[in-house]
A and B are shown apart, each in its own frame.
Chain A
C-alpha cells in the first residue's frame, strides 16, 4: 500500500469512528429512558455493503455484548428489505429468530445512499426498557416460549422515504409499557443515524466513494492481519473446556456448555458440540447471541488498539449445533440469553483459550443476580428499573492485572447510573453500594471484590428476581480461585425472602428492600503466588481480611502493626514454587 493510501485509510477510518462516536453521544444526550441516557446500554456502529453482505466497518465503544449481535441483526434486516430500500428509510428489528439475541435489544438501521445505491448503514442497537409480553422489563423467568419473552419485532420500516409511518410507529409504542420513554428513545436512535449519515456524506464528498471503499478495505484487512497475528501466535491444537449453567428457572439444573477451540494457524473454530440440548426456560442462547459472546471472549484476548470491524470476525468460525442450548429451535425462550447463558459461553471459550493463550485470558464475569422492578409513579405513569447498581462489580483478574471495579468487560460501555439521578428518576433510595470483604476470587492477580447493594423502594412495586452464579460461580483461570457465589434477598413488610433460584412477579410493599451481593471476580494464577505486599494492600483496603490473607494467600499479617510477618509467611507458603514467575 502506498503511503498516501495508508494515510487516507487512517483518515477515513477516523472519520467513520468519529461518526459512530457522534451517534453514541447523540443517543446519550437525547434519549428518554434512563437505560439509554444513564446506563448507556446500547452500541452504535456503521456497516457497508460488501459483496452483497453487510460488513461492520466502525463501532463506537459501547456495550460489548451487543458487538457481534449487531452484525447478524443488520444482515437479517437487509435480507428482508434488500430490494426495497430508499433514502430516509428507518428500519427497526428485534427478532431472536432472525439475527436477534433477546427481545429487549432492538436495532435501528438507516441506509445511506451514494450514486443512488444504499452503501452505508449507521446502526444503533439498544436495550429497551420494556418489550410488552407478560412481564414488565422484558425478562420473564416463567417463560417457556418466545411469546412469553415479549413481543417479537421482525424487520419493520418505521420511516419510509423520510416520512414517519405513524400507524406502524404507534403500533410499536402500544406494545410497550413505557411508551413515552420508547418514543423518545426511537427518536434518539433515528437522530443518531441522521447524524452519522451527514458525517458519512462528508467523507464521501471529500474522498469519493471509490477511494472511501478502498480505504475501508485496507482498514478491515489491517484488523484482520492483527487478529490473525495474535491467533497465529497460539500453538495449533484442540483445547476443550466445559462449564455449567446453574438452572433454567424451569426445573433443569447444571446445564452443560462445552467448547473446543481449534487453533489452526491464524484461524480458530469454537465448536460447541456436546453442549446440552435446548431447555424449557429462558436461558437458551440464539445463534447470534452465541456468536456475540464468543466474539466478546476473543476480543478480550486481542490488543485493545486493534480497530473493531469485520476483520475481527473473519478468522473466527463458530459451530453451534441446532437444538442445543447455544442454538435453540424456534420458539424456545431466550429472554435471559444476554446474561445467562451468554456468561457461560464467554466463560467456556476463555477456559478453552486459557490452555493455549493463558496470558491473554481473564476478566471473565457476567453471572448476575438479576432483579427487575416495575411500578407506577404517583401520576399513574409506569416506571421500570433494571436496578443496575445491583449488578456492578465482579470483574475477574487477568494476567498482569487484578480485576477492576464497576462492570467487567462484558458490559464495558455500560455506565453505572449516578445514584442521585437514579433516586430522582425512580421511587427508590440506594442505601448501600460497597465492596464486601473476602468476596474476591483469590489469585496471583485477584478478582475484584464483590459488591453489596441495598435498594429501598419508596413505592409498592412488582419485582422479578433471578439468581445465577451460585452452584457454578464465576471461574478463575490458570490456578486462580473461582469467585464466590452471588446472593439476593427481598424484604417486604418485615419478611425476608432469600432468593434461591427465582421469584416471579413478587409484590413488594412500600419501604421494601432488595439486597444484592454480586460475587467478586475469579482470580488468575495461584493465590500463594500473590506478592505479600499486594495482599497487605488488600487487607489495608478492606478487600481481604487478615484471616483470609493467612488462610487463602498464605500471608501472615500482624493485626496491630499491619505489616507482613515474613517468617510466618514463609512457613505458610512452604516450598510451593511459583508457577508464573512472580514473587
Chain B
C-alpha cells in the first residue's frame, strides 16, 4: 500500500469518527451534548489503542482511550459480536461521574478487531445535587452513580434489567434513554463504516493505515515538543477561590528521548472536596496545553496522547486517592495544569483560563418525577483575536435568546460587551419552582443573584430561586498568547 493510500484510509477513519460524533450530537437529547459539546466518538483497535477520535471539547481527549483500554482488560476473553458495553466511572479511566462511554466491538477476520465508542455527559446520574457538578461532595458516591463496566447488550440481547438500573438512578430517565439510544445508533453506524472499509480494502490495510496515522501524529508531536520544551522547566499554579483548601499543581518537565516527561509529584494532596483531576483528565489537560496548535490540523490518536509521559505519585489532586470526589476537577484544576505547564515550557499563555461563570438550575428537589437540570451560562469569556468562545469550551455553542426563553423558564435581559472587552449578561428567572447551585469558577467569579426572599432556605444546600430573580454573569476578557480553538 502506498503512503497516499494509507493516508486516505487514515482520513477515512477520522471521517467515520466525525460522522459518528455528528450523528450522535444530532440525535442526542441532552443539552450538555447538543449545546455544550460534551461528547466524543472514537475508533480503537482490539488492544484499546486510539486510532481516531472526534470530540466536542477537550476533557474527552484521553478518557475514551483510557476507559476502553480498562474495559478490554476487564472483559478479557468475554467480549463478543453483538455486545454493547457501558462504563462511566472516574476510577475506571473516566474524568468525572455521569460521563458515560458506550462501546461496541467490531469484528473483522473472525475476531474482535476494533471498538467503536461514543462518550457523553448524561444530564444527571443521581448524586446529591441535580446535574453532574457536586460542590459539596467529598467522596465519589455523593457525586453520581458509578457505572463500572457492564454489558447493556450481550450477544445482541438487551440486558433490560441493567438498563432499568441505570435509568432508575437518574432524575432525567427519558433524556438518558434517548442519549443511550443515540449512542447505540452512532456506534452502530461507525461499526458499519468500518465493516465497509475492511470489506473493500482488507483488515491488514486498515491496520497499517492506522499505524501510520499514529506514527505520524507521534512525529508531529515530537517536532512540536522540540520547538517548545524547556528541559528542566518547572511551574506552579494554585486555586485562588476562597472556600477551598489549598489546591496546587506543581509540575517539572524533562525530555526523555522523543517524549516529554511531565512530573506532577509535587502537587498538593488529594483535595477533601471535589477539586480533583483524574489521571485521564490530567492527560487531556496536558495534551491540550502542549499541542493546542496541532489539535486543529491533526487527528487525535494514540500518537498524540502518548507523546508525553506523565508521572505522578499517588494521592495528589491530579491523581486522587479513591474514593475522593472529582466532579469539579476539570473546571477548577485543569486551568492550574495548563498554567503550570505554560510556566514550565516557557509558553506565552495558558490555554485554559478560569472557568466561565455558570449556574445549574433545576426543578425544586423532589418536586418532579423527571427533571433535566440546565447548565445556564449565557455567554463566554472573550479573548483578543478570537471570535468564538474559550478554548476550554470546545465546540460549545452560545445559546440564542430564543433558545433560552423557549421553555418559559428564563428571560435574557442583557448580553453585551461593556466597552472594555468583557461580556456582561443578565438572565431573569421567569417562574417559581427552581432551585440552583453556583459552581465555583476558581477565581471567585460566580454569578450574582438578586431576589427579594432569602436565597438559601434553612437546611438546604442549594439556592431557592424566585420568579423575577435576576442572575448577573460577568465574563472577563482573557489575555491570550495566540490560542487556538480546541476540540
Is A175 a contact partner of B141 (Cβ separation < 8 A)? yes
Q: Taking the complex as formed, is B185 at the interface, i.e. its CB lies under 8 A from any CB of chain A?
A: no
Nearest-neighbour CB distance to chain A for B221, whole angstroms, equals 35
Contact string, A81-97, partner B, CB cutoff 8 A, digits 1/0?
10000000000000101
Q: Is the CB of B169 within 8 A of A147?
A: yes
Query: How far is B150's CA from A168's CA once the two chains are assembled, in angstroms?
Result: 6
Number of A-B contacts (CB under 8 A): 92
B365 touches A148 (CB 8 A): yes
Cβ contacts under 8 Å, A171 to chain B: 146-148, 150, 162, 165
Complex Cα gap A343–B305 (Å): 59
Q: List residues 153-178 of chain B with CB under 8 A from any CB of chain A.
A: 161-162, 164-165, 168-171
B365 near A174 with CB under 8 A, answer no
In the complex, the answer to whether A133 meets B365 with C-beta atoms within 8 Å is no
Given contact pairs A134-B128, A171-B165, A329 touches B150 in the complex (Cβ within 8 A): no
- Within B99-139, which residues are at the interface with A (CB < 8 Å)? 126-128, 137, 139
Point out the residue from A144, A175, A332 that lies within 8 Å of B146, measured CB to CB.
Answer: A175
Of the candidates A97, A170, A251, which one forms a contact with B458 in the assembled complex, judged by CB atoms under 8 Å apart?
A251
The reply to whether A175 and B145 contact each other, CB–CB distance below 8 Å, is yes
Which residue of B145, B148, B169 is within 8 Å of A167 (Cβ)? Answer: B148
Inter-subunit contact B151/A174 (CB<8 Å):
no
**Inside 8 A of A249's CB, which chain B residues have their CB?**
459
| Complex contacts, B162 vs chain A, CB 8 Å | 156, 168, 171
**B48 within 8 Å of A by Cβ?**
no
Known A-B contacts A80-B161, A151-B169, A249-B459; A329 and B369 likewise in contact (beta carbons under 8 Å): yes
Q: Do A157 and B161 have beta carbons less than 8 Å apart? A: yes
A161-188 interface mask toward B, CB cutoff 8 Å, 1 = contact, 0 = none?
0000001101100110100000000000
- In the assembled complex, B461 has its CB within 8 A of some CB on chain A: yes
**B366 with A145: CB separation less than 8 A:** yes
Q: Is A132 an interface residue (CB 8 A)?
A: yes
Please classify the interface of chain A as helix (H, G, I), strand (E, B), loop, or mixed, using the class held by over half of its residues.
Answer: loop
Q: Please name all residues of chain B whose beta carbon is closer than 8 Å to the beta carbon of A142 when the two chains form the complex.
A: 459, 461
Q: How large is the interface on A (under 10, 10 to 19, 20 to 34, 35 or more residues)?
A: 35 or more
Q: Kindly list chain B residues whose C-beta atoms are within 8 Å of the C-beta of A147.
A: 126-127, 169-171
Q: How far is the CA of A250 from the CA of B149 in the complex (A)?
A: 37
- Alpha-carbon gap, A570 to B28, bound state (A): 84
Question: Are A95 and B148 neighbours in the complex by a CB distance under 8 Å?
Answer: no
- Counting chain A CB atoms within 10 Å of each CB, the highest count among B74, B75, B147, B161 belongs to B161
Interchain CB contact under 8 A, A134 and B459: no
- Quick check: is B142 within 8 A (CB to CB) of the other chain? yes
Interface: B426 (CB within 8 A): no
B-contacting residues, A121-142, CB 8 Å: 132-134, 142
Residues of A within 8 A of B458 (CB): 251
Among B75, B151, B365, point to the contact of A145 (Cβ < 8 A): B365
Task: Provide the residues of chain B in CB contact with A177, threshold 8 Å.
Answer: 139, 141, 323
- Chain A neighbourhood of B148, CB < 8 A: 167, 170-171, 174
Asked if B151 contacts A331 (CB within 8 A), the reply is no
Q: Mark A241-274, 1 if CB is under 8 A from B, else 0.
A: 0000000011100000000000000000000000
CB atoms of B142 and A134 under 8 A apart: yes
Is A17 close to B, CB under 8 A? no
Question: B169 touching A152 by the CB < 8 A rule?
Answer: yes
**Contacts A145-B365, A156-B162 hold; do A250 and B169 have CB atoms under 8 A apart?**
no
In the complex, besides A133-B142, A171-B146, 18 extra interface pairs with C-beta distance below 8 angstroms are A132-B141, A133-B126, A133-B128, A134-B137, A144-B365, A144-B366, A145-B366, A147-B126, A148-B365, A151-B126, A152-B165, A154-B161, A156-B164, A157-B161, A170-B150, A175-B146, A333-B366, A502-B459
21 A–B contacts from the bound complex (CB under 8 Å): A132-B141, A133-B126, A133-B142, A144-B366, A145-B366, A151-B169, A154-B164, A154-B168, A155-B161, A155-B164, A167-B74, A167-B151, A168-B150, A170-B149, A171-B162, A174-B89, A177-B139, A177-B141, A251-B458, A280-B366, A333-B366
* Interface positions of B (Cβ within 8 A of A): 74-75, 89, 126-128, 137, 139, 141-142, 145-151, 161-162, 164-165, 168-171, 323, 365-366, 368-369, 458-459, 461
Shortest beta-carbon contacts, A-B, top 7: A145-B366, A147-B126, A144-B366, A134-B128, A144-B365, A174-B148, A167-B150
